[in-house]
Amino acid sequence: MSGHSKWSTIKRKKGALDAKRGKVFGKLSKEITVAARIGGGDPTGNSRLRAAIAAAKAENLPKDTIMKAIRKGSGEGGGAALEEIVLEGYGPAGVALMVESLTDNKNRTVSDVRHLITKYGGNLGEPGCVAWMFDKKGVIVFDRESVKEDELLEAALECGAEDLQSDETQFEVLTDPTGFVEVKEALEAQGFQPVLAELQLRPKTTVRIDEEKPAQQVLKLVEMLEEHDDVNNVFANFDIPDQLLEALM
């Protein structure tokens, strides 16, 4: 089970994202803009744009804002060009970090990210230093108490999902990134309502952290990176026990 998924789910339940709605909207809009710029403004033939729009709708981003972001990405909206960069490195306890950024100033973003990682005892690495530890997947999370495992598994496989993983509190349906939106919508049409659905970089192996101090440092670093205006997503391969994770949130 991904530590990132569990952390994201806990934050949603505690309303942490609602308190930062403006920042969330801004990052969703930037992702739509870049997806439209790279693959075109028609979501039918652009799986990344479909996923970005689905994520935006899940957060109740207004339709006008979505369309404006698509037009901007298609070259109709003007404004500074955004560049997509992925930064890699290690944080406290040897945790691998992948930082996905959208920026109009690459030097500023790299400098800021390096400063934050160094501040919390890590180091920014070269491209490719940790990317091999992650696979890109669509992740659709369900509360364990709200669904039956056998029913969800059968439906997920019929919809084209790759796998179902679970722990004491939730199920995760994993999909190929290109089929993520289709699987999510098919499951919703059958009455399965996810608590989280997004594209993630999933770690192939994880770093177990059982002690409070390093766990706190890792979570604080990830939180500070996510707070940066140029950073869209942060993925890490930490594995913090549920009880400790809940206590630190």
**Domains along the chain?**
3-73 (1.10.10.200), 83-132+205-248 (3.30.70.980), 134-203 (3.30.70.980)
Which residues lie across from 98 on neighbouring strands? 88, 235
| pLDDT, position 113 | 96
CA–CA dist 22, 220 (Å, integer): 21
H or E segment at 226? helix 212-227
pLDDT at 79 over 70: no
Q: How far is residue 234's CA from residue 7's CA, in Å, rounded to a whole number?
A: 12
Band of pLDDT at residue 245, cut at 50, 70 and 90:
confident
d(CA 31, CA 209): 31
User: 19: buried, middle or exposed (CB in 10 Å: 19+, 13-18, 0-12)?
Assistant: exposed
Average pLDDT score over residue span 8-34: 67
C-beta neighbour count of 54 within 10 angstroms:
18
Q: How far apart are CA 196 and CA 242, in angstroms?
A: 17
* d(C-alpha 240, C-alpha 212), whole Å: 9
Beta-sheet strands, E only, within the chain: 83-90, 96-103, 123-124, 134-143, 163-166, 170-175, 196-203, 207-208, 231-236, 238-239
Q: What angle do CA 198, 200, 205 make, to 5 degrees?
A: 145
Query: To the nearest 10°, the Cα dihedral for 117, 119, 121, 123?
Result: 40
Which two structure tokens, joined as six digits, stand for 49? 């744009």
Q: How confident is the model at residue 19 (pLDDT cuts 50, 70, 90)?
A: very low
pLDDT at 246 over 50: yes
Question: In a 3-state reduction of DSSP, which class is residue 174?
Answer: strand
Q: In whole angstroms, give the CA distance from residue 244 to residue 249.
A: 9
**Pair 103, 82: CB distance under 8 Å:** yes
pTM equals 0.78
Task: Indicate whether 160 pLDDT > 90.
Answer: yes
